[in-house]
Amino acid sequence: AMGLTDRRRAIVLFGDSLTQRSFEPSGWGAALAHLYGRRCDVYNRGFGGYNTRWCRSMVGELFPADETPLLATVLLGTNDAALFDVEPAAHVPLEEYEDNLTAIVTHLKSRCVHVMVLTPPCMDERQRLAFQKEKYGADAIGVLDRSNANTERYARCAARVAKKLNVPCVDLFEATWKACGVSPHEKKVARQDSVDPWAEPSAASATNASASETKASACEDVFVDGVHFSAFGQKLVFQTLTERIRAYVSSFHETGKTNDTYTLDPELMDSDWPFGPVLRGEPGEWRDKMYAHARSATIAPTLRSGDTKSRSVWRVEASAYADAENRLGRGLAALAVAAGVGLGMGYALGSAARR
The Cα–Cα gap between 233 and 140 comes to: 26
11 bridge partner residues: 42, 71
Task: Find the Cα–Cα–Cα–Cα dihedral 150, 191, 28, 3, rounded to 10°.
Answer: 50
What are the DSSP E strand ranges found in 63-173?
71-75, 114-118, 169-170
Collapsed DSSP state (helix, strand, coil) of residue 13: strand
Is 319 labeled as catalytic in the residue annotation? no
- Picking from 141, 48, 129, the residue whose alpha carbon sits closest to that of residue 90 is 48
| Rounded-to-integer distance, Cα 142 and Cα 204, Å | 21
- Contact 119/84 with Cβ under 8 angstroms? no
DSSP 189: P
∠164-300-291 over CA atoms, to 5°?
165
Gap between the Cα atoms of 2 and 241, Å rounded = 32
**How many angstroms separate the CA atoms of 261 and 259, rounded?**
5
Q: Which of 17, 22, 194, 212 is catalytic?
A: 17
Torsions phi, psi of 111, nearest 5?
-115, -30
CA 74 from chain center: how many Å? 10
Q: H or E stretch including 130?
A: helix 125-136
Task: Give CA angle at 18 (16, 22), nearest 5°.
Answer: 115
Half-sphere exposure of 120 (CA within 13 A, CB side): 32
Grouping H, G, I as helix, E, B as strand and the rest as coil, residue 10 is strand
Q: Are strands 71-75 and 40-46 parallel, antiparallel or unpaired?
A: unpaired
* SS3 of the chain: helix, strand, coil, percent, to 5: 55, 10, 35
Q: Which residues are catalytic?
A: 17
